[in-house]
Amino acid sequence: MVESTDKVERVVREALKIACPDIGAVDGGTHLASELGLDSAQVMDMIMEIEDRLDISIPVATIAEARTLDDLCNSVRRVAGEA
Amino acid sequence: MTLLDKFAPLAELRGALAASGNVPSIATPMDAIHSATEGVIDGKTVLLAGTNNYLGLTFDPETRAAAIKAVQELGTGTTGSRMASGNYAGHRALEREFAAAFGWPSAIVFSTGYQANLGAISALAGQGEYLMVDADSHASIHDACRLSMATTIRFRHNDPENLARRLERLGEDAKKTLVVVESLYSVLGDRAPLKELVDVSKQYGAMIIVDEAHSFGMYGPKGVGICAELGLLDRVDFVVGTFSKSLGGVGGFCVSRHPEFELLRLGSRPYIFTASPPPPVIAAARAALARLLRGDDLRAQLWKNIERFNSAVKRLGYRTGSNDPGPVTALVFNERADAIAHWQGLLDAGIYTNLMVPPATPAGLNIVRISLSAAHSDAQISRMIEAFEQLAARFKPAA
């Protein structure tokens, strides 16, 4: 199952909105921790939301390196592409 | 930007948690300990209700005597790993006693409970294998996953159906998976749906390890935990636990129904590359385990205290982290300031509890955590209830 680029980004943004409801406009280079203030628990909630919506399992190590929204989208695309 | 700059947010959090009084709510200085339920904080004798000393065995006369005798006869430490000079008769005897308590063939003792998870989990699942971990697991479990070379995937807290979906996606690789759960979660005090989690694990051919750190000693016919209480010991593969809660010491253990578990001694880095527990620690753990297995009097007293305290908390309208009464009661607050005010109010009334706030808590909750003990007297439980009645009158939690 290969997810289209647009679908992955849309799902990641939806998951971010659930993890962080008060969030404003976010561009792809926005830093998840230092700019959005997401803690590790919020990031993990967001990942599980993405997993459920795309029906994939994302290994913890895969997203450990993701610093920005674009990083996260790319990591998810890699997993989705392999699924 | 230096290496130390990244700690600035922690300094802010520490500042925010500074209570209105003189006593910090994290790393609270204990000036003295008088008994399993009384200590001295800021010059004042307080009732301890935040210690995990569930059976009150830290001051048990037999346990203390065993530790003193071991120091006199065997010294203060082993100065060696179990794989070298630190493999004493006491360590081996304690492992036989843990295995016998579960009716299983194998038990390994580790130097701490943290290391028991680190040592067992990181060695059981390696490269090309999988760890399927409850998202709200203790830090020691998450750290074990980092130490392991296995692929780690988290599933939603206490959600067997979510676990099933993830195991389904693995296909045949589900048989190379270790599912990791706790029986009783330490922050909110909520119980896992253990039977369902075991059913799902076995349906897909996965092995399952259950951390009974906060249930060993309090549940089941002999007190060995929730797996035994639910009759799951013929299907659960490993149980991990600690000496630092109900046994009143420090150390950890992992028991297994698989005899091959013994071979972990040769492949578990946290077991091999550390000194073995000192003789008094092992002697105290053996005495505490024997005391626990001897009868159900301590468990009965603890459960009596739990029922009395929990019914009062419910009557006063507090929101709790779990509907199942247990040794841990978590009072949940929407606002951090309310949690701090309760923690401080209790301390002012001479009662020490635990304050827990995000990011150390699940779901961003603000929590005042109370742990009860078999050693709490009826009068001490009454004091705790009276303090909550006064706080409830001030803060109106039911409103």
Instruction: Supply B76's token pair.
Output: 């203060």
Instruction: Supply B297's token pair.
Output: 């009097």
Residue intervals in chain B for CATH 3.40.640.10: 61-294
Q: What is the mean predicted confidence (pLDDT) over A31-58?
A: 86
Buried b (16+ CB within 10 A) or exposed e, A64-73: eebebbebbb
CA B355 to CA B26: how far, in whole Å?
7
Give the tens place of pLDDT for each residue, B187-225. Answer: 899 999 999 999 999 999 999 999 999 999 999 999 999
Q: Which domain holds residue A65?
A: 5-21+28-82
From A27-31, A78-82, B101-105, B330-334, the region with the lowest mean pLDDT: A78-82
CA B332 to CA A9: how far, in whole Å?
35
Cα dist from B372 to B176, B245, B378, whole Å = 39, 11, 12
User: Is residue B59 very low, low, confident or very high in pLDDT (cuts 50, 70, 90)?
Assistant: very high
With a cut of 80, say whether residue B127 has pLDDT above it.
yes
Q: What is the DSSP string of B260-272?
A: GGGGGGGT-HHHH
Q: What is the mean predicted confidence (pLDDT) over A35-44?
A: 80
Instruction: Supply B165's token pair.
Output: 């979906």
With a cut of 90, say whether residue B22 has pLDDT above it.
no
With a cut of 60, say whether residue B11 has pLDDT above it.
yes
SS3 at position B351: strand
Task: Write out the residues of chain A at the interface with chain B, using a CB-CB cutoff of 8 A.
Answer: 39-42, 44-45, 47-48, 51-52, 55-61, 83
User: Is residue A8 very low, low, confident or very high in pLDDT (cuts 50, 70, 90)?
Assistant: very high
With a cut of 70, say whether residue B123 has pLDDT above it.
yes
More confident residue, B288 or B27: B288
Residue intervals in chain B for CATH 3.90.1150.10: 5-59+296-395
Burial (0-12, 13-18, 19+ Cβ within 10 Å), B226:
buried
Buried b (16+ CB within 10 A) or exposed e, B307-328: ebbbebbeebebebbbeebbbb
Give the tens place of pLDDT for each residue, B234-289. Answer: 999 999 999 999 999 999 999 999 999 999 999 999 999 999 999 999 999 999 99
* pTM assigned to the model: 0.94
Residue A39: which CATH number? 1.10.1200.10
- Name residues whose C-beta falls within 8 Å of residue B45's C-beta, 6 or more positions apart in sequence: B34, B38, B39, B350
Indicate yes or no: CB of A60 within 8 angstroms of CB of B154.
yes
CATH number of this structure's domain B61-294, picked from the four choices 3.40.50.10190, 3.40.640.10, 3.40.50.300, 3.40.50.360: 3.40.640.10
Indicate yes or no: CB of B145 within 8 angstroms of CB of A60.
yes
Q: Give residue A5's pLDDT.
A: 58
Q: What is the number of domains present in chain A?
A: 1
Which residues of chain A make contact with B169, given a CB cutoff of 8 A? 55-57, 83
With a cut of 50, say whether residue A83 has pLDDT above it.
no
CATH number of this structure's domain B5-59+296-395, picked from the four choices 3.40.640.10, 3.90.1150.10, 3.30.70.20, 3.30.70.1290: 3.90.1150.10
Q: Taking CA atoms, what residue in B is nearest to A20?
A: B364
What rounded mean pLDDT belongs to chain B? 95
CA A30 to CA A14: how far, in whole Å?
15
